[in-house]
Structure 1
Amino acid sequence: MDKPFCTHLGRLAIRSLHAELILYPKPGLVSLVDCGSHHDMTAATFLHSMFSLRHYFINIAEAGMNNAPFAALKHLGMEAEVRMLSATGGINTHRGAIFSLGLLCAAMGHCRAHRVTLSARAIRSALSTTWGGALAGHMHSTSTDASISHGAQVAMHHAASGAREEAALGFPSIFDIALPALERTLEAGRNTTCARIDSFFSLMAHISDTNVYHRGGMAGAATVRNLAQQFLALGGTAHPNWESHALDCHHTFVRQRLSPGGAADLLAATCLVHSVLSNCRWNNDLS
Protein backbone atom coordinates (compact mmCIF):
# COMPACT_ATOMS: atom_id res chain seq x y z
CA MET A 1 0.00 0.00 0.00
CA ASP A 2 1.38 3.40 -1.04
CA LYS A 3 -0.07 5.51 1.76
CA PRO A 4 1.88 8.70 0.89
CA PHE A 5 0.47 8.67 -2.64
CA CYS A 6 -3.11 8.21 -1.43
CA THR A 7 -2.70 10.92 1.21
CA HIS A 8 -1.31 13.36 -1.33
CA LEU A 9 -4.07 12.50 -3.79
CA GLY A 10 -6.69 13.10 -1.09
CA ARG A 11 -5.24 16.52 -0.39
CA LEU A 12 -5.25 17.40 -4.08
CA ALA A 13 -8.91 16.39 -4.30
CA ILE A 14 -9.85 18.72 -1.42
CA ARG A 15 -7.75 21.51 -2.92
CA SER A 16 -9.58 21.04 -6.21
CA LEU A 17 -12.93 21.41 -4.49
CA HIS A 18 -11.61 24.55 -2.81
CA ALA A 19 -10.36 25.88 -6.16
CA GLU A 20 -13.86 25.49 -7.58
CA LEU A 21 -15.40 27.23 -4.57
CA ILE A 22 -13.19 30.33 -4.68
CA LEU A 23 -13.40 30.82 -8.46
CA TYR A 24 -15.27 34.01 -9.42
CA PRO A 25 -17.19 35.13 -11.45
CA LYS A 26 -18.73 31.67 -11.61
CA PRO A 27 -22.28 32.10 -12.93
CA GLY A 28 -25.04 31.02 -10.59
CA LEU A 29 -22.80 29.29 -8.07
CA VAL A 30 -21.66 29.84 -4.50
CA SER A 31 -18.29 31.55 -4.06
CA LEU A 32 -16.53 33.63 -1.42
CA VAL A 33 -18.16 36.70 -2.97
CA ASP A 34 -21.83 35.70 -2.92
CA CYS A 35 -24.19 32.72 -2.82
CA GLY A 36 -25.17 32.82 -6.47
CA SER A 37 -28.59 31.32 -7.13
CA HIS A 38 -28.67 29.60 -3.73
CA HIS A 39 -30.47 30.73 -0.60
CA ASP A 40 -29.78 27.63 1.46
CA MET A 41 -25.97 27.53 1.40
CA THR A 42 -22.90 29.72 1.70
CA ALA A 43 -19.18 29.31 1.21
CA ALA A 44 -19.00 28.19 4.84
CA THR A 45 -21.40 25.34 4.04
CA PHE A 46 -19.02 24.14 1.35
CA LEU A 47 -16.02 24.41 3.66
CA HIS A 48 -17.79 22.28 6.29
CA SER A 49 -18.56 19.75 3.59
CA MET A 50 -14.93 19.63 2.40
CA PHE A 51 -13.72 19.03 5.94
CA SER A 52 -16.09 16.08 6.24
CA LEU A 53 -14.65 14.56 3.03
CA ARG A 54 -10.96 14.86 3.91
CA HIS A 55 -10.53 11.09 4.56
CA TYR A 56 -12.90 9.85 1.86
CA PHE A 57 -10.65 10.56 -1.10
CA ILE A 58 -7.70 8.87 0.62
CA ASN A 59 -9.80 5.81 1.40
CA ILE A 60 -11.22 5.44 -2.09
CA ALA A 61 -7.76 5.84 -3.63
CA GLU A 62 -6.60 2.97 -1.41
CA ALA A 63 -9.63 0.94 -2.51
CA GLY A 64 -8.65 1.54 -6.12
CA MET A 65 -5.14 0.34 -5.35
CA ASN A 66 -6.62 -2.85 -3.96
CA ASN A 67 -8.78 -3.53 -7.05
CA ALA A 68 -11.91 -3.08 -4.96
CA PRO A 69 -15.16 -3.90 -6.79
CA PHE A 70 -17.49 -1.08 -7.74
CA ALA A 71 -19.84 -2.06 -4.92
CA ALA A 72 -17.09 -1.23 -2.42
CA LEU A 73 -16.41 2.14 -4.06
CA LYS A 74 -20.13 2.88 -4.03
CA HIS A 75 -20.31 2.02 -0.33
CA LEU A 76 -17.47 4.43 0.44
CA GLY A 77 -19.26 7.13 -1.55
CA MET A 78 -22.53 6.56 0.30
CA GLU A 79 -20.75 6.80 3.65
CA ALA A 80 -19.09 10.04 2.51
CA GLU A 81 -22.47 11.43 1.49
CA VAL A 82 -23.88 10.70 4.95
CA ARG A 83 -20.95 12.57 6.53
CA MET A 84 -21.41 15.46 4.10
CA LEU A 85 -25.11 15.82 4.89
CA SER A 86 -24.38 15.67 8.59
CA ALA A 87 -21.77 18.41 8.26
CA THR A 88 -24.03 20.67 6.19
CA GLY A 89 -27.30 20.15 8.01
CA GLY A 90 -28.78 18.11 5.19
CA ILE A 91 -27.68 20.35 2.30
CA ASN A 92 -26.28 18.65 -0.78
CA THR A 93 -23.06 20.48 -1.56
CA HIS A 94 -20.84 17.77 -3.04
CA ARG A 95 -22.88 14.69 -4.02
CA GLY A 96 -21.70 14.86 -7.62
CA ALA A 97 -18.13 15.56 -6.60
CA ILE A 98 -18.13 12.61 -4.21
CA PHE A 99 -19.00 10.39 -7.16
CA SER A 100 -16.79 11.92 -9.85
CA LEU A 101 -13.66 12.82 -7.90
CA GLY A 102 -13.97 9.62 -5.92
CA LEU A 103 -13.91 7.47 -9.05
CA LEU A 104 -10.97 9.43 -10.43
CA CYS A 105 -9.04 8.91 -7.18
CA ALA A 106 -9.80 5.18 -7.35
CA ALA A 107 -8.62 5.02 -10.97
CA MET A 108 -5.42 6.88 -10.12
CA GLY A 109 -4.84 4.56 -7.19
CA HIS A 110 -5.31 1.60 -9.51
CA CYS A 111 -2.73 3.03 -11.93
CA ARG A 112 -0.29 3.57 -9.09
CA ALA A 113 -0.68 0.04 -7.77
CA HIS A 114 0.02 -1.37 -11.22
CA ARG A 115 2.98 0.98 -11.76
CA VAL A 116 1.31 2.59 -14.75
CA THR A 117 2.47 6.10 -15.60
CA LEU A 118 -0.32 8.53 -14.78
CA SER A 119 -1.80 10.05 -17.91
CA ALA A 120 -5.25 10.93 -19.19
CA ARG A 121 -5.33 7.73 -21.23
CA ALA A 122 -4.19 5.59 -18.30
CA ILE A 123 -6.80 7.04 -15.94
CA ARG A 124 -9.61 6.49 -18.44
CA SER A 125 -8.35 2.99 -19.19
CA ALA A 126 -8.32 2.11 -15.49
CA LEU A 127 -11.93 3.22 -15.19
CA SER A 128 -13.11 1.21 -18.18
CA THR A 129 -11.12 -1.98 -17.62
CA THR A 130 -11.63 -2.18 -13.86
CA TRP A 131 -15.17 -0.88 -13.32
CA GLY A 132 -16.52 -0.30 -16.85
CA GLY A 133 -19.18 -3.00 -16.73
CA ALA A 134 -20.42 -1.95 -13.32
CA LEU A 135 -20.44 1.72 -14.32
CA ALA A 136 -22.49 0.90 -17.42
CA GLY A 137 -24.98 -0.97 -15.26
CA HIS A 138 -25.03 1.89 -12.76
CA MET A 139 -25.76 4.35 -15.58
CA HIS A 140 -28.86 2.45 -16.67
CA SER A 141 -30.10 1.51 -13.21
CA THR A 142 -33.23 3.12 -11.83
CA SER A 143 -34.36 3.49 -8.27
CA THR A 144 -37.74 3.22 -6.58
CA ASP A 145 -36.29 4.86 -3.47
CA ALA A 146 -37.98 8.15 -2.57
CA SER A 147 -34.51 9.58 -1.98
CA ILE A 148 -33.52 9.28 -5.65
CA SER A 149 -31.42 12.32 -6.53
CA HIS A 150 -32.75 15.30 -8.42
CA GLY A 151 -30.16 14.57 -11.07
CA ALA A 152 -31.46 11.05 -11.62
CA GLN A 153 -35.06 12.29 -11.78
CA VAL A 154 -34.15 14.95 -14.33
CA ALA A 155 -32.10 12.52 -16.40
CA MET A 156 -35.10 10.22 -16.67
CA HIS A 157 -37.49 13.06 -17.51
CA HIS A 158 -35.35 15.05 -19.97
CA ALA A 159 -32.94 12.29 -21.08
CA ALA A 160 -30.12 14.59 -19.96
CA SER A 161 -26.74 13.07 -19.31
CA GLY A 162 -25.44 13.16 -15.76
CA ALA A 163 -22.59 12.02 -13.55
CA ARG A 164 -23.37 8.32 -14.11
CA GLU A 165 -23.13 8.60 -17.88
CA GLU A 166 -19.98 10.73 -17.64
CA ALA A 167 -18.28 8.07 -15.54
CA ALA A 168 -19.43 5.18 -17.73
CA LEU A 169 -18.00 6.93 -20.80
CA GLY A 170 -14.68 7.74 -19.12
CA PHE A 171 -15.51 11.39 -18.31
CA PRO A 172 -15.37 12.80 -21.85
CA SER A 173 -16.41 16.24 -20.63
CA ILE A 174 -13.30 16.36 -18.45
CA PHE A 175 -10.73 14.85 -20.77
CA ASP A 176 -12.05 16.03 -24.14
CA ILE A 177 -13.55 19.43 -23.25
CA ALA A 178 -12.57 20.96 -19.91
CA LEU A 179 -8.95 19.86 -19.55
CA PRO A 180 -7.94 20.91 -23.11
CA ALA A 181 -9.64 24.29 -22.55
CA LEU A 182 -7.76 24.81 -19.30
CA GLU A 183 -4.44 23.84 -20.87
CA ARG A 184 -4.97 26.08 -23.92
CA THR A 185 -5.48 29.12 -21.72
CA LEU A 186 -2.38 28.37 -19.65
CA GLU A 187 -0.34 27.81 -22.80
CA ALA A 188 -1.55 31.20 -24.06
CA GLY A 189 0.09 32.78 -21.02
CA ARG A 190 -3.00 33.61 -18.99
CA ASN A 191 -3.24 32.74 -15.29
CA THR A 192 -4.87 29.86 -13.45
CA THR A 193 -8.06 31.81 -12.72
CA CYS A 194 -8.53 32.53 -16.43
CA ALA A 195 -7.81 28.90 -17.27
CA ARG A 196 -10.45 27.67 -14.84
CA ILE A 197 -13.00 30.22 -16.06
CA ASP A 198 -12.50 29.14 -19.67
CA SER A 199 -12.73 25.51 -18.61
CA PHE A 200 -15.94 26.15 -16.69
CA PHE A 201 -17.60 28.01 -19.57
CA SER A 202 -16.53 25.24 -21.95
CA LEU A 203 -18.32 22.75 -19.73
CA MET A 204 -21.48 24.86 -19.55
CA ALA A 205 -21.46 25.20 -23.33
CA HIS A 206 -21.27 21.44 -23.91
CA ILE A 207 -22.87 19.38 -21.17
CA SER A 208 -26.52 18.70 -20.37
CA ASP A 209 -26.43 19.73 -16.72
CA THR A 210 -29.11 17.95 -14.70
CA ASN A 211 -28.85 20.62 -12.00
CA VAL A 212 -29.83 23.26 -14.55
CA TYR A 213 -32.70 21.15 -15.91
CA HIS A 214 -33.97 20.62 -12.38
CA ARG A 215 -34.20 24.36 -11.70
CA GLY A 216 -34.89 25.83 -15.13
CA GLY A 217 -36.14 23.06 -17.39
CA MET A 218 -35.30 23.05 -21.07
CA ALA A 219 -35.50 26.85 -21.33
CA GLY A 220 -33.02 27.28 -18.49
CA ALA A 221 -30.67 24.74 -20.02
CA ALA A 222 -30.78 26.62 -23.32
CA THR A 223 -29.98 29.89 -21.53
CA VAL A 224 -26.94 28.40 -19.83
CA ARG A 225 -25.64 26.81 -23.01
CA ASN A 226 -26.23 29.88 -25.19
CA LEU A 227 -24.64 32.37 -22.79
CA ALA A 228 -21.63 30.12 -22.30
CA GLN A 229 -21.21 29.73 -26.04
CA GLN A 230 -21.46 33.51 -26.49
CA PHE A 231 -18.74 34.03 -23.86
CA LEU A 232 -16.45 31.60 -25.63
CA ALA A 233 -17.23 33.06 -29.06
CA LEU A 234 -15.98 36.42 -27.81
CA GLY A 235 -12.68 34.77 -26.94
CA GLY A 236 -13.34 33.75 -23.36
CA THR A 237 -10.80 35.25 -20.98
CA ALA A 238 -8.72 36.46 -23.92
CA HIS A 239 -11.31 39.24 -24.34
CA PRO A 240 -10.27 42.41 -22.47
CA ASN A 241 -13.73 42.72 -20.88
CA TRP A 242 -14.18 39.05 -20.04
CA GLU A 243 -14.88 39.70 -16.35
CA SER A 244 -17.76 42.02 -17.20
CA HIS A 245 -19.21 39.44 -19.58
CA ALA A 246 -18.90 36.69 -16.97
CA LEU A 247 -20.56 38.91 -14.35
CA ASP A 248 -23.46 39.66 -16.71
CA CYS A 249 -23.90 35.92 -17.15
CA HIS A 250 -23.75 35.45 -13.38
CA HIS A 251 -26.46 38.04 -12.77
CA THR A 252 -28.69 36.48 -15.43
CA PHE A 253 -28.33 33.05 -13.82
CA VAL A 254 -29.11 34.46 -10.37
CA ARG A 255 -32.25 36.23 -11.65
CA GLN A 256 -33.44 32.97 -13.20
CA ARG A 257 -32.22 30.83 -10.27
CA LEU A 258 -30.02 28.75 -12.57
CA SER A 259 -27.20 26.79 -10.98
CA PRO A 260 -24.83 24.73 -13.16
CA GLY A 261 -23.72 22.49 -10.32
CA GLY A 262 -22.90 19.59 -12.63
CA ALA A 263 -20.40 21.78 -14.47
CA ALA A 264 -18.95 22.86 -11.12
CA ASP A 265 -18.37 19.23 -10.09
CA LEU A 266 -16.68 18.51 -13.41
CA LEU A 267 -14.54 21.64 -13.05
CA ALA A 268 -13.31 20.42 -9.66
CA ALA A 269 -12.57 17.03 -11.20
CA THR A 270 -10.69 18.76 -14.03
CA CYS A 271 -8.62 20.69 -11.50
CA LEU A 272 -7.77 17.41 -9.79
CA VAL A 273 -6.69 15.69 -13.01
CA HIS A 274 -4.63 18.69 -14.05
CA SER A 275 -2.93 18.87 -10.64
CA VAL A 276 -2.06 15.19 -10.69
CA LEU A 277 -0.80 15.14 -14.27
CA SER A 278 1.27 18.27 -13.61
CA ASN A 279 2.93 16.64 -10.60
CA CYS A 280 5.70 14.55 -12.17
CA ARG A 281 7.06 13.22 -8.87
CA TRP A 282 4.57 10.34 -8.86
CA ASN A 283 5.67 9.17 -12.29
CA ASN A 284 9.39 9.71 -11.74
CA ASP A 285 9.52 7.28 -8.82
CA LEU A 286 7.91 4.38 -10.70
CA SER A 287 11.27 3.21 -12.02
Structure 2
Amino acid sequence: MMDTLSPATRTVDVRRFGQRAARLAIASLYAELALYPKPGLVSLVDNGSHTDMNAVTFMRSLFSLRHYFRLIFHAGSNDAPFATLKRLGIEAEERMLRATGGINTHRGAIFSIGLLCAAAGRACAHGGEMTAAALQSHLRAGWGKELANHSVPVNERSHGLSAAALHGASGARHEAASGLPSVLQTGLGALRRTLAEGRGPRQARIDALFALMMHVSDTNVVHRGGPQGAAFVRIQASAFLHAGGTASNGWEAHALAIHRAFVERNLSPGGAADLLAASCFVHALTAEHER
Protein backbone atom coordinates (compact mmCIF):
# COMPACT_ATOMS: atom_id res chain seq x y z
CA MET A 1 0.00 0.00 0.00
CA MET A 2 1.26 3.50 -0.81
CA ASP A 3 -1.44 5.83 0.54
CA THR A 4 0.71 7.07 3.47
CA LEU A 5 3.76 7.88 1.36
CA SER A 6 4.81 11.40 0.48
CA PRO A 7 4.36 12.45 -3.19
CA ALA A 8 8.13 12.31 -3.78
CA THR A 9 8.45 8.84 -2.28
CA ARG A 10 5.40 7.65 -4.17
CA THR A 11 6.90 8.89 -7.45
CA VAL A 12 10.09 6.93 -6.78
CA ASP A 13 8.09 3.80 -5.91
CA VAL A 14 5.94 4.09 -9.02
CA ARG A 15 9.06 4.48 -11.17
CA ARG A 16 10.72 1.46 -9.59
CA PHE A 17 7.60 -0.65 -9.87
CA GLY A 18 7.26 0.37 -13.51
CA GLN A 19 10.79 -0.88 -14.19
CA ARG A 20 9.95 -4.16 -12.45
CA ALA A 21 6.70 -4.53 -14.40
CA ALA A 22 8.54 -3.97 -17.70
CA ARG A 23 11.14 -6.62 -16.81
CA LEU A 24 8.40 -9.08 -15.89
CA ALA A 25 6.58 -8.38 -19.17
CA ILE A 26 9.67 -9.21 -21.23
CA ALA A 27 10.42 -12.25 -19.05
CA SER A 28 6.87 -13.51 -19.58
CA LEU A 29 7.18 -13.20 -23.34
CA TYR A 30 10.43 -15.15 -23.18
CA ALA A 31 8.79 -17.81 -20.97
CA GLU A 32 6.13 -18.29 -23.65
CA LEU A 33 8.77 -18.54 -26.39
CA ALA A 34 10.85 -21.08 -24.44
CA LEU A 35 7.90 -23.35 -23.64
CA TYR A 36 7.77 -26.74 -25.41
CA PRO A 37 5.92 -28.73 -26.65
CA LYS A 38 3.61 -25.95 -27.72
CA PRO A 39 1.18 -26.98 -30.50
CA GLY A 40 1.91 -25.25 -33.81
CA LEU A 41 3.85 -22.41 -32.22
CA VAL A 42 7.43 -21.13 -32.55
CA SER A 43 9.74 -22.25 -29.74
CA LEU A 44 13.46 -22.63 -29.10
CA VAL A 45 13.11 -26.20 -30.42
CA ASP A 46 11.34 -25.70 -33.74
CA ASN A 47 9.27 -23.22 -35.77
CA GLY A 48 5.94 -24.97 -35.37
CA SER A 49 3.60 -24.22 -38.29
CA HIS A 50 5.61 -21.16 -39.35
CA THR A 51 7.97 -20.76 -42.29
CA ASP A 52 8.28 -16.98 -41.95
CA MET A 53 9.60 -16.74 -38.38
CA ASN A 54 11.74 -18.53 -35.81
CA ALA A 55 13.06 -18.02 -32.29
CA VAL A 56 15.58 -15.43 -33.49
CA THR A 57 12.73 -13.39 -34.96
CA PHE A 58 11.00 -13.46 -31.59
CA MET A 59 14.15 -12.44 -29.73
CA ARG A 60 14.56 -9.42 -32.02
CA SER A 61 10.95 -8.53 -31.33
CA LEU A 62 11.45 -8.88 -27.57
CA PHE A 63 14.44 -6.56 -27.65
CA SER A 64 12.46 -3.94 -29.58
CA LEU A 65 9.75 -3.91 -26.88
CA ARG A 66 11.99 -3.49 -23.85
CA HIS A 67 11.02 0.19 -23.26
CA TYR A 68 7.37 0.02 -24.35
CA PHE A 69 6.02 -1.72 -21.26
CA ARG A 70 7.69 0.79 -18.94
CA LEU A 71 6.31 3.71 -20.94
CA ILE A 72 2.74 2.42 -20.97
CA PHE A 73 2.94 1.58 -17.25
CA HIS A 74 3.81 5.20 -16.52
CA ALA A 75 1.09 6.41 -18.87
CA GLY A 76 -1.35 4.36 -16.81
CA SER A 77 0.04 5.73 -13.55
CA ASN A 78 -0.73 9.23 -14.85
CA ASP A 79 -4.30 8.30 -15.84
CA ALA A 80 -3.44 8.90 -19.50
CA PRO A 81 -6.37 8.80 -21.91
CA PHE A 82 -6.90 5.79 -24.12
CA ALA A 83 -5.57 7.74 -27.12
CA THR A 84 -2.16 7.89 -25.42
CA LEU A 85 -2.14 4.14 -24.75
CA LYS A 86 -3.13 3.50 -28.34
CA ARG A 87 -0.35 5.75 -29.64
CA LEU A 88 2.24 3.96 -27.50
CA GLY A 89 0.97 0.61 -28.76
CA ILE A 90 1.13 1.70 -32.40
CA GLU A 91 4.67 2.98 -31.92
CA ALA A 92 5.67 -0.32 -30.26
CA GLU A 93 4.16 -2.27 -33.13
CA GLU A 94 6.10 -0.17 -35.64
CA ARG A 95 9.35 -0.89 -33.76
CA MET A 96 8.49 -4.58 -33.66
CA LEU A 97 7.88 -4.69 -37.41
CA ARG A 98 11.14 -2.89 -38.12
CA ALA A 99 13.00 -5.37 -35.90
CA THR A 100 11.40 -8.42 -37.53
CA GLY A 101 11.37 -7.27 -41.14
CA GLY A 102 7.62 -6.81 -41.20
CA ILE A 103 6.67 -10.04 -39.39
CA ASN A 104 3.97 -9.91 -36.71
CA THR A 105 5.42 -11.70 -33.69
CA HIS A 106 3.85 -9.89 -30.73
CA ARG A 107 0.96 -7.69 -31.90
CA GLY A 108 -1.47 -9.38 -29.52
CA ALA A 109 0.95 -9.15 -26.61
CA ILE A 110 1.61 -5.48 -27.30
CA PHE A 111 -2.12 -4.96 -26.90
CA SER A 112 -2.96 -7.23 -23.94
CA ILE A 113 0.22 -6.96 -21.84
CA GLY A 114 0.40 -3.25 -22.65
CA LEU A 115 -3.09 -2.72 -21.24
CA LEU A 116 -2.22 -4.78 -18.17
CA CYS A 117 0.89 -2.65 -17.62
CA ALA A 118 -1.24 0.48 -17.88
CA ALA A 119 -3.73 -0.97 -15.38
CA ALA A 120 -0.83 -1.88 -13.06
CA GLY A 121 0.46 1.67 -13.33
CA ARG A 122 -2.95 3.06 -12.42
CA ALA A 123 -3.26 0.63 -9.48
CA CYS A 124 0.22 1.55 -8.28
CA ALA A 125 -0.44 5.28 -8.44
CA HIS A 126 -3.75 4.88 -6.61
CA GLY A 127 -2.01 3.03 -3.77
CA GLY A 128 -3.86 -0.26 -4.05
CA GLU A 129 -2.69 -3.83 -3.75
CA MET A 130 -1.47 -5.47 -6.95
CA THR A 131 -4.00 -8.27 -7.43
CA ALA A 132 -5.68 -9.71 -10.50
CA ALA A 133 -9.01 -8.28 -9.36
CA ALA A 134 -7.43 -4.85 -8.92
CA LEU A 135 -5.90 -4.96 -12.40
CA GLN A 136 -9.26 -5.81 -13.94
CA SER A 137 -10.97 -3.09 -11.91
CA HIS A 138 -8.44 -0.43 -12.94
CA LEU A 139 -8.53 -1.52 -16.58
CA ARG A 140 -12.30 -1.07 -16.67
CA ALA A 141 -12.34 2.11 -14.59
CA GLY A 142 -9.58 3.78 -16.57
CA TRP A 143 -10.38 2.81 -20.15
CA GLY A 144 -13.37 0.47 -20.17
CA LYS A 145 -15.66 2.80 -22.10
CA GLU A 146 -13.04 3.53 -24.76
CA LEU A 147 -12.20 -0.16 -25.11
CA ALA A 148 -15.86 -1.04 -25.54
CA ASN A 149 -16.19 1.60 -28.24
CA HIS A 150 -12.74 0.97 -29.75
CA SER A 151 -13.22 1.25 -33.49
CA VAL A 152 -10.99 -0.23 -36.15
CA PRO A 153 -9.61 2.03 -38.89
CA VAL A 154 -11.06 1.23 -42.29
CA ASN A 155 -7.62 0.58 -43.79
CA GLU A 156 -6.50 -1.78 -40.98
CA ARG A 157 -6.52 -5.30 -42.42
CA SER A 158 -4.71 -7.65 -40.07
CA HIS A 159 -5.30 -11.39 -40.44
CA GLY A 160 -7.07 -11.37 -37.09
CA LEU A 161 -9.52 -8.67 -38.12
CA SER A 162 -10.22 -10.37 -41.44
CA ALA A 163 -10.88 -13.66 -39.65
CA ALA A 164 -13.16 -11.95 -37.15
CA ALA A 165 -15.17 -10.37 -39.95
CA LEU A 166 -15.50 -13.63 -41.87
CA HIS A 167 -16.08 -16.10 -39.08
CA GLY A 168 -17.19 -14.14 -36.02
CA ALA A 169 -14.09 -14.75 -33.89
CA SER A 170 -14.09 -12.11 -31.19
CA GLY A 171 -10.35 -11.47 -30.89
CA ALA A 172 -8.30 -9.18 -28.69
CA ARG A 173 -10.55 -6.09 -28.75
CA HIS A 174 -13.54 -7.95 -27.34
CA GLU A 175 -11.26 -9.55 -24.73
CA ALA A 176 -9.96 -6.17 -23.56
CA ALA A 177 -13.42 -4.60 -23.45
CA SER A 178 -14.51 -7.50 -21.21
CA GLY A 179 -11.61 -6.88 -18.81
CA LEU A 180 -9.34 -9.63 -20.21
CA PRO A 181 -11.21 -12.56 -18.60
CA SER A 182 -9.21 -15.13 -20.57
CA VAL A 183 -6.06 -13.85 -18.87
CA LEU A 184 -7.38 -13.03 -15.42
CA GLN A 185 -9.62 -16.06 -15.03
CA THR A 186 -8.82 -18.82 -17.56
CA GLY A 187 -5.04 -18.55 -17.99
CA LEU A 188 -4.16 -17.32 -14.52
CA GLY A 189 -6.53 -19.81 -12.92
CA ALA A 190 -4.91 -22.74 -14.75
CA LEU A 191 -1.43 -21.57 -13.79
CA ARG A 192 -2.35 -21.33 -10.12
CA ARG A 193 -4.18 -24.67 -10.02
CA THR A 194 -1.26 -26.61 -11.47
CA LEU A 195 1.25 -24.92 -9.19
CA ALA A 196 -1.00 -25.53 -6.18
CA GLU A 197 -1.07 -29.23 -7.09
CA GLY A 198 2.71 -29.32 -6.77
CA ARG A 199 3.78 -29.31 -10.41
CA GLY A 200 6.31 -26.83 -11.75
CA PRO A 201 6.16 -23.68 -13.90
CA ARG A 202 6.60 -25.56 -17.19
CA GLN A 203 3.65 -27.84 -16.50
CA ALA A 204 1.60 -24.89 -15.27
CA ARG A 205 2.24 -23.00 -18.51
CA ILE A 206 1.35 -26.04 -20.62
CA ASP A 207 -1.95 -26.48 -18.74
CA ALA A 208 -2.69 -22.76 -19.06
CA LEU A 209 -1.97 -22.79 -22.80
CA PHE A 210 -4.32 -25.73 -23.38
CA ALA A 211 -7.01 -24.11 -21.23
CA LEU A 212 -6.74 -20.96 -23.33
CA MET A 213 -6.82 -22.95 -26.59
CA MET A 214 -10.00 -24.64 -25.40
CA HIS A 215 -11.79 -21.44 -24.32
CA VAL A 216 -10.50 -18.63 -26.55
CA SER A 217 -11.85 -17.67 -29.95
CA ASP A 218 -8.45 -17.36 -31.65
CA THR A 219 -8.42 -15.30 -34.83
CA ASN A 220 -4.98 -16.64 -35.76
CA VAL A 221 -6.38 -20.17 -35.87
CA VAL A 222 -9.47 -19.10 -37.80
CA HIS A 223 -7.32 -17.27 -40.37
CA ARG A 224 -5.21 -20.37 -41.01
CA GLY A 225 -7.79 -23.13 -40.68
CA GLY A 226 -11.25 -21.60 -40.82
CA PRO A 227 -13.99 -22.77 -38.45
CA GLN A 228 -12.93 -26.40 -38.97
CA GLY A 229 -9.42 -25.60 -37.81
CA ALA A 230 -10.76 -23.72 -34.79
CA ALA A 231 -12.95 -26.70 -33.89
CA PHE A 232 -9.94 -29.05 -34.22
CA VAL A 233 -7.93 -26.88 -31.82
CA ARG A 234 -10.71 -26.85 -29.23
CA ILE A 235 -11.26 -30.61 -29.51
CA GLN A 236 -7.57 -31.41 -29.11
CA ALA A 237 -7.15 -29.01 -26.19
CA SER A 238 -10.24 -30.39 -24.49
CA ALA A 239 -9.00 -33.98 -24.94
CA PHE A 240 -5.63 -33.09 -23.39
CA LEU A 241 -7.20 -31.40 -20.37
CA HIS A 242 -9.87 -34.05 -19.83
CA ALA A 243 -7.10 -36.68 -19.81
CA GLY A 244 -5.70 -34.81 -16.81
CA GLY A 245 -3.40 -32.30 -18.48
CA THR A 246 0.10 -32.41 -17.10
CA ALA A 247 -1.09 -34.50 -14.15
CA SER A 248 -1.56 -37.48 -16.47
CA ASN A 249 1.07 -40.07 -17.31
CA GLY A 250 2.44 -39.48 -20.78
CA TRP A 251 1.24 -35.87 -20.95
CA GLU A 252 4.38 -34.75 -22.77
CA ALA A 253 3.98 -37.34 -25.54
CA HIS A 254 0.32 -36.36 -25.85
CA ALA A 255 1.18 -32.65 -26.16
CA LEU A 256 3.89 -33.43 -28.71
CA ALA A 257 1.45 -35.48 -30.80
CA ILE A 258 -0.96 -32.52 -30.81
CA HIS A 259 1.91 -30.23 -31.80
CA ARG A 260 2.67 -32.44 -34.81
CA ALA A 261 -1.02 -32.59 -35.76
CA PHE A 262 -1.23 -28.78 -35.69
CA VAL A 263 1.88 -28.46 -37.85
CA GLU A 264 0.42 -30.93 -40.34
CA ARG A 265 -2.72 -28.80 -40.56
CA ASN A 266 -0.80 -25.47 -40.55
CA LEU A 267 -2.53 -24.33 -37.35
CA SER A 268 -0.94 -21.89 -34.92
CA PRO A 269 -2.86 -20.61 -31.86
CA GLY A 270 -0.91 -17.38 -31.63
CA GLY A 271 -3.71 -15.59 -29.81
CA ALA A 272 -3.64 -18.18 -27.04
CA ALA A 273 0.16 -17.85 -26.87
CA ASP A 274 -0.12 -14.07 -26.37
CA LEU A 275 -2.71 -14.60 -23.64
CA LEU A 276 -0.46 -17.21 -22.00
CA ALA A 277 2.36 -14.64 -21.84
CA ALA A 278 -0.10 -12.14 -20.36
CA SER A 279 -1.21 -14.73 -17.78
CA CYS A 280 2.42 -15.38 -16.82
CA PHE A 281 2.91 -11.64 -16.47
CA VAL A 282 -0.05 -11.21 -14.12
CA HIS A 283 0.99 -14.24 -12.10
CA ALA A 284 4.50 -12.85 -11.58
CA LEU A 285 3.29 -9.29 -10.96
CA THR A 286 0.72 -10.27 -8.34
CA ALA A 287 2.65 -13.09 -6.63
CA GLU A 288 3.49 -11.06 -3.52
CA HIS A 289 -0.15 -10.08 -2.92
CA GLU A 290 -1.97 -13.31 -3.80
CA ARG A 291 -0.08 -16.08 -2.00
Choose from 116, 128, 137 the match for 2:149.
Answer: 137
Report the equivalent of 2:102. Answer: 90
Work out the CA distance in 1 between the residues paired with 2:152 and 2:287: 38
Q: Deviations over 1:61-109 (max 9, x none)?
A: 0000000000000000000000000000110000000000000000000
Report the equivalent of 1:21. Answer: 33
State the AA in 2 paired with 1:279: E
Work out the CA distance in 2 between the residues paired with 1:249 and 1:35: 15
| TM-score with structure 2 setting the length | 0.94
State the AA in 1 paired with 2:20: H
Q: Does 1:249 align with 2:261?
A: no
Following TM superposition, by how much is the alpha carbon of 1:274 offset from its aligned partner in structure 2, in angstroms? 0.1
Q: Does 1:153 align with 2:162?
A: yes
Following TM superposition, by how much is the alpha carbon of 1:279 offset from its aligned partner in structure 2, in angstroms? 3.4
| TM-score with structure 1 setting the length | 0.95
Q: Mind listing any 5+ residue stretches in structure 2 that lack a counterpart?
A: 1-10
Q: Deviations over 1:128-172 (max 9, x none)?
A: 11100000011xx24320x42111111121111111011100011
Report the equivalent of 1:216. Answer: 225
Work out the CA distance in 2 between the residues paired with 1:184 and 1:5: 27
Q: Does 1:207 align with 2:219?
A: no
Choose from 267, 285, 288 the match for 1:258.
Answer: 267
Following TM superposition, by how much is the alpha carbon of 1:32 offset from its aligned partner in structure 2, in angstroms? 0.3
SS in 2 for 1:262: helix
Q: Deviations over 1:115-137 (max 9, x none)?
A: 01111111001011110000001
Work out the CA distance in 2 between the residues paired with 1:81 and 1:260: 20
Q: Deviations over 1:28-82 (max 9, x none)?
A: 0000000000000010000000000000000000000000000000000000000
Report the equivalent of 1:57. Answer: 69
Work out the CA distance in 1 between the residues paired with 2:267 and 2:133: 34
Report the equivalent of 1:166. Answer: 175
Q: Does 1:41 align with 2:53?
A: yes
Report the equivalent of 1:105. Answer: 117
SS in 2 for 1:248: helix
State the AA in 1 paired with 2:208: S
1:175-254 equivalent positions in 2, closer than 5 A: 175-254=184-263
SS in 1 for 2:104: coil
Question: Number of residues paired by the alignment?
Answer: 278
1:248-287 equivalent positions in 2, closer than 5 A: 248-280=257-289
Moved over 4 A (4+): none
State the AA in 1 paired with 2:224: R
Report the equivalent of 1:81. Answer: 93
State the AA in 2 paired with 1:47: M
1:110–1:151: structure 2 CA closer, same or farther, 3 Å change rule? same
Q: Mind listing any 5+ residue stretches in structure 1 that lack a counterpart?
A: none
Report the equivalent of 2:6. Answer: none
